[in-house]
Amino acid sequence: MATIKTKYEGNLRTFSTHLASGSDIMTDAPLDNHGKGEAFSPTDLVSASLGACMLTVMGIAAKAHDIDFNNINMEITKIMALNPRRIAEIAIVFYFNGKEYNDHQKLILEKAARTCPVAMSLHPDLKQSIVFNW
């Protein structure tokens, strides 16, 4: 169980502290929604959380199966919908930077990504578009 303490700082900004580690995150409303856009927005954090969760669970699976998983990265694009304003789609593109994986290793990593806890927690109407650039 993680406990996070969050405070509204004014001007559409929040400041959150992860109590166990002392790590901090600041959010701002985005420019297109009355904010300054000087930090991650709350919906940006949802998108970043999905990506970070996928990479983390893939790393766990890679370690368990002795698969080289260093220096893997991704690009995340959040697509908003209006009326109601919500995240409609999160598009993620993985880059494996020339690493060679066999079909079995690819299956392990893809399954880990698609079944990470954040992916499984998001509403099914939120489209998760995932591309693995092997």
pLDDT, tens only, 68-100: 999 999 999 999 999 999 999 999 999 999 999
H/E element, 129: strand 127-133
Could you tell me if 118 and 60 lie in one domain? yes
For tokens 């690009």, the residue is 75
Helical segments of the chain, H only? 42-64, 103-114, 117-121
Could you tell me if 113 and 55 lie in one domain? yes
Could you tell me if 70 and 115 lie in one domain? yes
CATH of the domain at 98: 3.30.300.20
Instruction: For residue 76, give the DSSP letter.
Output: E
Confidence class of residue 115 from pLDDT cuts 50, 70 and 90?
Answer: very high
Residue range(s) defining the domain that contains residue 20: 4-33
Instruction: For residue 65, give the DSSP letter.
Output: T
Q: What is the CA radius of gyration of the chain?
A: 17
Could you tell me if 27 and 92 lie in one domain? no
Confidence class of residue 35 from pLDDT cuts 50, 70 and 90?
Answer: confident
Total of domains in the chain: 2
The answer on pLDDT for 43 being more than 80 is: yes
pLDDT score, position 2: 76
In angstroms, the CA 22 to CA 24 distance is 6
**Listed range (16-25, 30-39, 124-133) with the worst mean pLDDT:** 30-39
